[in-house]
Amino acid sequence: MPPAVVVFAPSPLLTVTIEDRAGQPDIHVHAGGQGVWQARMISTLGVPVVLCAALGGEAGDVLEHLLPSEGVELRAVHVGTRNGGYVHDRRGGDREPIAEAPGGPLDRHEQDALYELVLAEGLEHGTAVLAGPNSDQVIPSTLYRRLATDLGANGCRVAADLSGERLDAVLAGGPAVLKVSHEELIADGRSESDEPAELVAAMKQLRADGAGTVIVSRAAEPALALPGDGESVVEIHVPPLEPAEPRGAGDSMTAGVVASLVRGEPVREALRTGAACGALNVVRRGLGTGGEEAIRTLAERVELVEWKG
């Protein structure tokens, strides 16, 4: 079995989704948030996960029971603030938010405890994914800078799926894998538009700033990748599939890439697997879900085409 991946999920969410089942409300309660969805996909690919999170309040009490699962070990810091959550109604087909609550901010001592936990686990297992919080107020971006820098300096492979100040922060640690969406690059002022040439220029700047493999998701358009073992940008073409849930494809892609690298696959094979994870995610209603056999089948049909700008 490959070594475990440490996933930093600073503030998981308690999610309640109302579906329709034969004309009756069907209520689903799950743990959610970027890091949780990534952990779920990584474990699907047979790679163990150590999920490091802060838990507090009534939502945190429930999450402590929901988060551990087959292949996912929970390591929690108990905090005085509460975890966030949401209630969404999908009986009409689209998601209709009924209530959404952000997670509360961690104090200095709680931040230190969370940093210490992730540092120790990351150094022990050798690979760490730094996922974003569900709210900007939960933890400062400086914590991401410290984690990326200290983990990377001590031989831990760091992957990040971040934007804004947190993306700027992790670059100081030279992450091995950096994934960002094209909307985030534009919002951060790193790209002036969604034109491929502008996005590629931003990717090359991220490489110059310290990132290894850089991946830019582009919604329905082929993702772009600058593999860490070369200077050529590739477009990632996935098989055409009708989406059922457009959210979460980028998170699943990051998870698939990291899981593949931990299993010893070359970076281009990891990109194919990551793209297959993202493609399968959008045809399912559960975020970060999918079967390993289906992922492997789709990965065989993913094409990497050299970008000719």
For residues 249 and 34, what is the distance between their CA atoms, to the nearest angstrom?
A: 11
* Count of CB atoms situated within 10 Å of the CB of 238: 21
pLDDT recorded at residue 290:
62
How much is the pLDDT for 245?
A: 61
- Given a contact cutoff of 8 angstroms between Cβ atoms, the answer to whether 304 and 271 are in contact is yes
Question: For residues 230 and 203, what is the distance between their CA atoms, to the nearest angstrom?
Answer: 13
**Of 109, 29, 27, 25, nearest to 61 (Cα)?**
29
| Residue 132: CB atoms within 10 Å | 24
Residue 246 pLDDT: 60
Whole-angstrom distance, CA of residue 240 vs CA of residue 245: 15
pLDDT at 285: 53
Report the residue count for the chain: 309
The first and second tokens of residue 135, run together, are: 């709210």
Q: What is the 3-state secondary structure (H, E, C) of the chain?
A: CCCCEEEEECCCEEEEEEEEECCEEEEEEEEECHHHHHHHHHHHCCCCEEEEEEECHHHHHHHHHHCCECCEEEEEEECCCCCCEEEEECCCCCCEEEEEECCCCCCHHHHHHHHHHHHHHHHHHCEEEEECCCCCCCCCHHHHHHHHHHHHHCCCEEEEECCHHHHHHHHCCCCCEEEEEHHHHHHCCCCCCCCHHHHHHHHHHHHHCCCCEEEEEECCEEEEEECCCCCCCEEEECCCCCCCCCCCHHHHHHHHHHHHHHCCCCHHHHHHHHHHHHHHHHCCCCCCCCCHHHHHHHHCCCEEEECCC
Tens-digit pLDDT string for the chain (309 aa): 679 999 999 999 999 999 999 999 999 999 999 999 999 999 999 999 999 999 999 999 999 999 999 899 999 999 999 999 999 999 988 889 999 999 999 999 999 999 999 999 999 999 999 999 988 899 999 999 999 999 999 999 999 999 999 999 999 999 999 999 999 999 999 999 999 999 999 999 999 999 999 999 998 899 999 998 777 999 999 988 766 566 557 899 999 999 999 999 999 999 999 999 988 876 655 544 567 888 899 999 999 999 987
234 forms beta bridges with 225, 306
Q: Which domains does the chain have, with CATH numbers?
A: 5-306 (3.40.1190.20)
pLDDT at 174: 96
